[in-house]
Amino acid sequence: MIKPISSRGTIVAKTGNEIAAEAMRQIEPDVVAAYPITPATEIVQIFSQFVSDGIVKTKYIAVESEHSAMSATIAASAAGVRAMTGTSSQGLCFMWEMLYIASGLRLPIVMVEVNRAIAAPINIHGDHSDTMGARDSGWIQIYSENVQEVYDNIIQAINIAEKTQLPVLVAMDGFIISHCMEIAEIYNDNAVKLFIGEYKPTRYLLDIKHPYTLGSLDLQDYYFEHRYQVAQAMSHANKTILQIANDFNNIFGHEYHLYEKYKLDDAELGIIIIGSAAGIVKMAINELRSKNLKVGLLKVRVYRPFPREYIIKDLAHIKAIAVLDRVDSCSGAFAPLYSDVVSALYSEGITTPKVINYIYGLGGRDINIEHIKSIYNTLNKILLDKEEQYNKINYINLRK
């Protein structure tokens, strides 16, 4: 057990990218393999300067592609060291094959992912299309609302990955977080190093006294069990994530859960959202609450594993819910977060909340407080509408 120590940090003004690089400096992984891509480039730029100046002893592999970034990170992790990478958008798409291999081989890699739209049309701005595409790849996905959360999530991710033996992706919204400067608290180096501890792999390839084969061919007789183990590890991971959040809070005084509730407990109308847009939802709530409207928010922090059994308890009493997805699924049905929320509710027999889906903010399209207020307004109408004539799938701030 890590003893709480006096480590209350320093207040700084940093962008999401800068603070991610700062977290990586403090973590000082053994190996970082990365490839530049907007808007994540800055992270590895800043970090490689740390390497160049000898501030960190990390070995930096300037690979020739994201596919090789993930491949080299996988190999380094398998070799027995703490390995990290970062990417965005098309880069994550290019890694896609390797994402499943990282989780299938149970390697505790941490990746910083700056959310960006995916082509075509090419667009460099923030939405969740990239990481949502990887939602079933066996990576734990943790999203951040602001610069502080980016920093805190990256530090916690190291422990989460190493305890669960699953790779962890820490996401932040492109430009909105990655390039916007905010006030944040950073902790002292030693406290962070103590929190993450020294990496001690249980089995590693460079242990030449105990050689083994990693990445075998599984036929019909083993593949199913091995993939089941990944799924099991994922479904057990929430407990570990909560435990680590608790330890983190004890030491650093910042509280985290699988999701954040904002004025939700007595709410009749709720919004569920991921990432930076939660900020304006909170602002809208404050305004509407002053008019005695019972509105609340559930902001998903840990999207994978999806906190199914936790979330339903906090949603059962809500009368109308809007799930806001910063991604469209092109499935002909609903977007990912909506599908997860509704199936979680329905599977537990909770069918009272009326749940609708909003698609917003693709390619960095703005969403403002008026949009959020209009969503609560719609939810209110749904509540009063006995005929149940309302759209299940809605688009906000879109020219049709």
Single-letter code of the amino acid located at 297: L
- Tokens found for residue 320: 């109308």
Closest Cα to residue 144, out of 335, 240, 273?
A: 273
Strand pairing category for 182-186 and 295-300: unpaired
Report residue 333 as tokens: 């049905």
Q: What are phi and psi of 123, to 5 degrees?
A: -155, 135
Quote the radius of gyration of the chain (alpha carbons, Å). 21
Measured between alpha carbons, how far is residue 129 from residues 35, 119, 173 in Å? 20, 10, 11
Nearer to other proteins, 31 or 337 (CB): 31
CA pair distance 94, 4, nearest whole angstrom? 41
- Rounded Cα distance, 182 and 180, in Å: 6
- Pair 325, 360: CB distance under 8 Å: yes
Q: How far is the CB of 219 from other proteins (least distance, A)?
A: 7
Smallest distance, other proteins to C-beta of residue 71, A: 4
Q: What is the rounded CA–CA span in Å between residue 83 and residue 108?
A: 8
Least CB distance to other proteins at residue 77 (A): 8
Which amino acid would we find at residue 126?
G
Cα separation, 95 vs 118, in Å, equals 13
Q: Give the shortest CB-244-to-other proteins separation in angstroms.
A: 25
Cβ 57 to other proteins shortest distance, Å: 8
Nearest distance from residue 64's CB to other proteins, in Å?
Answer: 3
What CA–CA distance (Å, rounded) separates 233 from 378?
A: 39
Answer whether 139's CB lies under 8 Å from 99's CB: yes
In angstroms, rounded to a whole number, what is the distance separating the alpha carbons of residues 31 and 162?
15
Return the residue matching tokens 């501890």: 197
Tokens of 28: 């000082």
Of 73 and 141, the one with the shorter C-beta distance to other proteins is 73
Residue 332: CB atoms within 10 A of its CB come to: 5
Task: Report, in Å, the least distance between residue 206 CB and other proteins.
Answer: 6
Q: Which token pair is 140?
A: 């734990």
Least distance in angstroms from the C-beta of 80 to other proteins? 7
The CA distance from 35 to 72, in Å, is: 11
Residues that bind other proteins (CB under 8 A): 30-31, 33, 57, 59, 61-65, 67-68, 71-76, 78-81, 83, 97-98, 101, 105, 205-208, 211-219, 222
Q: Which is nearer to other proteins, 83 or 280 (CB)?
A: 83
CB atoms within 10 A of CB 45: 13
Asked if 234 and 305 count as a contact pair (C-beta separation under 8 A), the reply is: yes
Least separation in angstroms between CB 216 and other proteins: 4
Residue 165 C-beta: closest distance to other proteins, Å:
16
